[in-house]
Amino acid sequence: MENLFYKISEHVFGLLKEGEKLTLSFGGEESQFIRFNGAKVRQTGFVKDAGIGVELIFNNRKNNGGITFTGEFDTDMNNTTAELQRMREEIVQLPEDPYIIMPGNAGSSREDHRGELLSESEAVEKLLSPFVGVDMAGIWASGRLYRGNANSEGQKHWFATDTFSLDYSLITPTEKMVKATFAGTRWDDDDYNRFVADSIKKLDIMSLPPKKIKPGEYRTFIASSGVSNFLGMFSWGGVSEAAIQQGESAFCKMRNENLTLSPLFSFSEDFRTGTVPRFNGHGEVAPEILSLIDKGKLVNTLISSRTAREYNKESNFASGGEGLRSAVMAGGTLKEEDVLKTLGTGVYLSNLHYLNWSDQIGGRITGMTRYACFWVEDGKIVAPIENMRFDDSLYRFFGPNLEAVTEQVLMNPEVETYEGRALGGIHSPGILLSSFSLTL
């Protein structure tokens, strides 16, 4: 794929007219998918798919298009050439862009991360073996992902990685559920079996009569998956410099009023995980690691070149939307085996759902508890809780109410497959809160 992409790129760049600038981007995958229901295979198959995105710039105007990549040089070359001609005809009708980002050449790069994946032939047996006697539904996705970028200034980037994920739910006869995602780049039988065993243990508890708790403030532990849901909200009116400049960010108070969070909270963009390319859609390469919040203090935001130009800032080559691409929250000192004992009496939340800002400027997030959420007494889980709505501020649960952070930091992958398998995810620990607001 790499060589053919570059071959097509060089051919199309040779067709450019005076004043035209062109950037081509590549996205592809070679994936195995298996759909499970009732702990049985319901659908299985293999996908080899790719596409080429095209961005043409002429006279401070920009037009975007794309083609499906077939892997046949003549076909892909002709299709890309035809797409270029279509965009030429349209671009003269478009308005000028005052903050347009021209392609440049800051050097080329190549990353190829080889993982250790389950072989296609053994996947079904190894995935299903721990679920004997358990009602499981889920999706397995595994394989190689590709990203590329080349522009008419001579810059080239290529990225490839191996990843897998099993996104599953376990279901009781009364249709109570435990949801979990096992993911990574290197398969380990023991890690997988331990992970599933923990889910099955929670499922047994879900069979108990649920406890209805009243709205109020509760001592709470939120597991890694729930924490990743909170961190994911930072891509929407959070760490974006443009959002702060426009007064639409939950972190405006940190910038303008010098508010700080807990010294236990540190958060960064960290591309050392090897699951996401450092280059963005413009072919700009982000720092390998960029601290965003360091021990509770806002030290950086995500700044795209467009935002930098508009607000006279220095770009750190964030994506166009200034969302998180490879987010990592630092771990702490709380050991997993001590979580329940340290929690004592309170609420254990495995998963959160339907999150939204209830007061974006105030940093308030609302959502629902769901799946394996429990009431804990004296360090022991005694019952599942009925679903509750929460509404609380990040300035509280990542602030003074943050009592401890787990040592273990887990990967919570992006599992969307709308236009292909998504890259990356959020690495996050669990957090222990002295108080968390359940409202309804």
Q: pLDDT tens digits, residue range 103-114?
A: 999 999 999 999
257, 382 contact by CB (below 8 A): no
pLDDT at 437: 98
pLDDT at 324: 97
Q: 423: which DSSP letter?
A: P
Mean pLDDT to the nearest integer, 266-287: 95
> For residue 276, is pLDDT > 90?
yes
What percentage of the chain carries pLDDT values higher than 90?
98
pLDDT at 60: 97
> If pLDDT is split at 50, 70 and 90, which confidence band does 378 have?
very high
pLDDT tens digits, 308-350: 999 999 999 999 999 999 999 999 999 999 999 999 999 999 9
Identity of the amino acid at 210: P
Mean pLDDT to the nearest integer, 365-377: 96
pLDDT at 417: 87
| CA proximity to 424, closest of 236, 278, 224 | 278
pLDDT tens digits, 189-210: 999 999 999 999 999 999 999 9
Which residues pair with residue 182 across a beta bridge? 166
pLDDT at 418: 85
pLDDT at 73: 96
pLDDT at 273: 86
Mean pLDDT to the nearest integer, 250-266: 97
Retrieve residue 346's tokens.
Answer: 């309170």
> If pLDDT is split at 50, 70 and 90, which confidence band does 293 have?
very high
> If pLDDT is split at 50, 70 and 90, which confidence band does 297 have?
very high
Using CA atoms, how far residue 83 sits from 12, 14, 91, 134, 149, in Å, is 10, 15, 12, 51, 17
pLDDT tens digits, 169-190: 999 998 999 999 999 999 999 9
Residue 199 CB contacts under 8 Å (≥ 6 apart), including other chains = 168, 170, 178, 180, 372
Backbone angles phi, psi at 13, to 5 degrees: -60, -30
Distance, CA of 424 to CA of 277 (rounded, Å):
9
Residue ranges of domains in the chain, CATH in brackets: 2-206 (3.30.2290.10), 216-438 (no CATH)
Mean pLDDT to the nearest integer, 401-430: 94
Burial class (CB within 10 angstroms; exposed 0-12, middle 13-18, buried 19+) of 109: middle
pLDDT at 321: 95
> For residue 277, is pLDDT > 90?
yes
pLDDT at 397: 98
